[in-house]
Chains A and B, each alone.
Chain A
Amino acid sequence: MSLRELAESDLAITLEDPAGFGWAITLINPAGTAASLRGQSTDISQIIDPDTGQVVSGRLAAVTIRVASLAAAGLTLPQGIAGAESKPWLVGFDDINGQAYTFKVAESNPDRALGVVTCLLEAYNG
């Protein structure tokens, strides 16, 4: 096994281990197929600059998921859906206090060398 293959297999520990930072994440594709996965999630405050010179307090949320787990769940790589005629890819996870949130995948950044995909999220009222 090459070092790259070893790194990918280690994702089961470094990314998905519930005893580590692995966090329960629900991923739903535009067709409505849902999968329960484990990965890393973040939801922190962020400053938004609308270019008016005055900033707005906002949030930055993202998840990182193992690509092999996506395939095993029967899902393809998520992507940001710009068109209004389609349902978006949705991501759901709880914060550390058990409050559930649902987001739309705004941008998907796959790392095909390591086998992970990081999705930048957007608030979704579903």
Chain B
Amino acid sequence: MAELTSLIDKQDSFEIVRDQLAAILATETAAQQALATAGGEDPLLWKLRVYSERSNPWEQFLNGPADKSPLVNVWYDNSNFIEAGSSVSERQKTAGTFNIDCYGYGEAADVVGGGHNPGDREAALIVQRALRLVRNIFMAAPYTYLGLRGLVWQRWIKSITVFQPGMDNRSVQQIVGARVSMGVTFNELAPQVEADTLEYVAIDILRAEDGEIVAEADFDYTA
């Protein structure tokens, strides 16, 4: 006989955190672009194209590269459950890792005054610009708890790794990938036993004219 009598139709916390990470990036990069426009700067330098849990090849990135702004893919990697901070029944303190992969696309370009701008360096600088935005957004004070205070204990960027393009990637395009490994400690919650009602307790709270609070206990029981 099944013990769980209600449908498990909630999101787990790791899903909520993952979606929140992507939402924060999308919101803040849009805000940064608006600020750049207002300040007379090129807003594309603050643009990130944010995706979540993508695993298909990035097709439109290169085969129609009218928009060369960097791509960001937020994906859930793993969780470790911390016994010391958890309860055996309801709440598990969880150390999760979310990878925020950034991709920079660079194209060699002519410099009118002389020389040229190499594509490999351009790709590296673009992905590093994306890393700068991602790190600053997530480590900003308003996002200490990722906007999920009560669910999230802390967020911490554990590492940033830039991948050297492989020697076999003799592509027309220059692509550099980088990974921000984001550690988030949060609570995972599990379905609980639905208790039977023993007694209803009602308390009336009265406020006296002088502001004094007077509580009146009114026990309504059936026994």
Chain A residues engaging chain B, CB cutoff 8 angstroms: 43, 46-52, 54-62, 81-88, 103-104, 106-107, 120-126
Contact = CB atoms under 8 A, between A and B. Distances in A.
Interface string B151-182: 00000000000011110011111111101000
A52 B161 CA distance: 10
Contact of A49 (B54, B62, B110, B166): B166
Given A48-B173, A122-B174, A124-B110, A84 B121 contact: yes
B63 A57 contact: yes
Interface stretch (B100-108, B128-136, B201-209): B100-108
Interface stretch (B8-16, B26-34, B111-119, B185-193): B111-119
A82 B120 CA distance: 9
B175 A50 contact: yes
Nearest to B118: A84
A82 B163 CA distance: 20
Interface residues of B, number: 37
B55 interface: yes
Nearest to A58: B171
Contact of A56 (B107, B164, B175, B179): B175
Main secondary structure of the interface of B (DSSP, over half): loop
A52 B171 contact: no
Interface of B: 54-55, 57-59, 61-63, 73, 101, 103, 107-111, 114-119, 121, 163-166, 169-177, 179
Contacts of B115: 83-87
13 contacts: A46-B170, A48-B175, A57-B58, A58-B62, A59-B171, A60-B170, A61-B172, A81-B116, A106-B170, A123-B173, A124-B110, A124-B116, A126-B109
B158 to A, nearest CB: 16
B171 A60 contact: yes
A59 B108 contact: no
A54 B57 contact: yes
A54 B75 CA distance: 11
Contact of B165 (A50, A54, A62, A123): A50
